[in-house]
Chains A and B, each alone.
Chain A
Amino acid sequence: MEFLASIGRVVLGFLAHVGRLTAFTATAVSHTVRPPFFYRLTLKAMIEIGYYSLPVVGLTAIFSGMVLALQSYTGFARFSAEGAVATVVVLSMTRELGPVLAGLMVAGRIGASMAAEIGTMRVTEQIDALVTLSTNPFKYLVAPRLIAGTLMLPFLVGVADIIGVFGGYIVGVYKLGFNPSSYISRTWEYLEPLDVISGLTKAAVFGFLISLMGCYNGYYSKGGAQGVGKATTNSVVSAAILILIFNYIITALYFGK
């Protein structure tokens, strides 16, 4: 009986958690479309996410593109398909690696800082103070971050796609000896709009999830510095897992016939 009871407790705890997250998400989303809007805060969050993440996303993208070129070249050489390198690089970057790697990097950078900031505001009663000053914390803290995350991740992934392809080009041309113009034409040859569109869709979803996890974990953090630390870790881990799950779901929706 003890055993069953403990299973029951875990299940109930999980369901309570899911319920709370669902309610949080619904409230947060409803506040992104209802006025008043906090334009300045949204712009600030967009700059924080979009602009200040450029270095880390760019660096990730260029090395991913480079290693893709190198790996596919040596791998495909086994069945004399080296010519496919440019195509492999551009398809992998736009469809998979761009959104997933950028998402994971931004989850570490932005999700964590959102959880820490909102969590600190929670444990120091700044969120309570907001409420008593007639300002809805969902509107003031959560909505701007959700909007910024959803809009800026596609931008970052667009940049990552370009930089990643460029990384592949560098390795392809300067190390593997491809002809520059044929590498570029091979890059375009099999690329379809849907490859890019699916990647950008993923990016938007990931951006939303990163902000949601950052805000949610911060909002419900409790118990001082330790609680904020836990919220920060949880926001990164849960965002990363959700990114991988939704990556599969979106891929299946677009391409899984």
Chain B
Amino acid sequence: MSHMSTPVEPKIKLADVHKAFGPKVVLDGIDLAVQPGESVVIIGGSGTGKSVTLKCILGLLRPEQGSVTVDGQDVVAMGGRAREAMLRKFGMLFQGGALFDSMTVWENVAFGLIQGRGMKRAEAREIAIDKLAQVGLAASAGDLMPVELSGGMQKRVALARAIASSPEIIFFDEPTTGLDPIMADVINDLIVQCVKNVGATALSITHDMASARKIADRIAMLYKGRLIWIGSPKDIDHSGNEFVDQFIHGRAEGPIKMELRA
């Protein structure tokens, strides 16, 4: 938590964020500050609310309580134009890809450049092809439709779309899920490059501990609606937290009980 003491204003700050769906409480008081240029990874069991956390920051879901600020601006109350301008800082890789299935692959990647920033199609296409190359896809894939791609290829297209406009803040929801180990490492390197070389702020979700160790400056673990541990990847093996221990070693036995019916 050494970053907390620095005087810089955090890029993203969540304070006491609560989110429930009907009676089901998902987030129960999340506090997190992400510094500019920092890469934070959220880990945690399936269905604990990791994706919901990202959506609350983006304003796709509205927390019932608590505040979310980006560059010091409160985003929960933000509306219309101001939100559009705020979202221009962001790139988001959705867990399910969320590619526009009525458009070709390159049009998907170039969408933010053309619609969001009014760039010429030809110019945006160049950039899109370049981004596709960065995620290991040939230019010829650019003219295909998303349904013609494999699951892993769709994921990489979605990643290319998320970074296409060189955003200041990038959210990756499970960037390496469904990729082979080698490609997963290529993507890890790409994420590290976005943060280290381009200076973007990144908030990622992953179940892949190798990936988390590689891309994270800090790792936060979400359990039962709260961040129960935040620390640097080198400390995670001796966190002294039995929940974290169980999670990173993937043990069925431990304090975290899967809700299974016998």
**Bound-complex Cα distance A131 to B116 (A):** 10
Cβ of B92 under 8 Å from chain A: yes
Interfacial chain A residues near B92, Cβ < 8 Å: 129, 132
- Stretch of B69-77, B93-101, B224-232 with 4 or more beta carbons under 8 angstroms from chain A: B93-101
* Nearest B residue to A128, CB-CB: B60
* Nearest B residue to A44, CB-CB: B102
Cβ of B208 under 8 Å from chain A: no
Q: Is the CB of B98 within 8 A of A124?
A: yes
Interfacial chain A residues near B98, Cβ < 8 Å: 124-126, 128-129
- Asked if A126 meets B115 with Cβ closer than 8 Å, knowing A131-B60, A132-B90, A134-B84, the reply is no
Interfacial chain A residues near B111, Cβ < 8 Å: 133, 135
Interfacial chain B residues near A155, Cβ < 8 Å: none
Interfacial chain B residues near A140, Cβ < 8 Å: 115
Task: Name the residue among A117, A126, A134, A136 with the largest chain B CB count within 10 angstroms.
Answer: A134
Cβ of B88 under 8 Å from chain A: yes
Q: Is the CB of B112 within 8 A of A125?
A: no
**Bound-complex Cα distance A140 to B84 (A):** 14
Q: Mark A124-159, 1 if CB is under 8 A from B, else 0.
A: 111011111111100010000000000000000000
Closest chain A CB from B53 CB (angstroms): 14
**Bound-complex Cα distance A140 to B111 (A):** 12
Instruction: Report which B residues bind A (CB closer than 8 A).
Output: 55, 58-60, 84-85, 87-88, 90-92, 94, 96, 98-102, 111-112, 115-116, 161
Q: Offer 8 A-B interface pairs, CB within 8 angstroms, sorted by A.
A: A124-B98, A125-B94, A128-B60, A128-B98, A132-B91, A133-B112, A134-B112, A135-B111
A sample of 12 more A-B contacts (CB under 8 A), given A128-B94, A134-B88, is: A120-B101, A129-B94, A129-B99, A129-B100, A131-B59, A132-B60, A132-B87, A132-B91, A132-B92, A133-B87, A134-B87, A134-B115
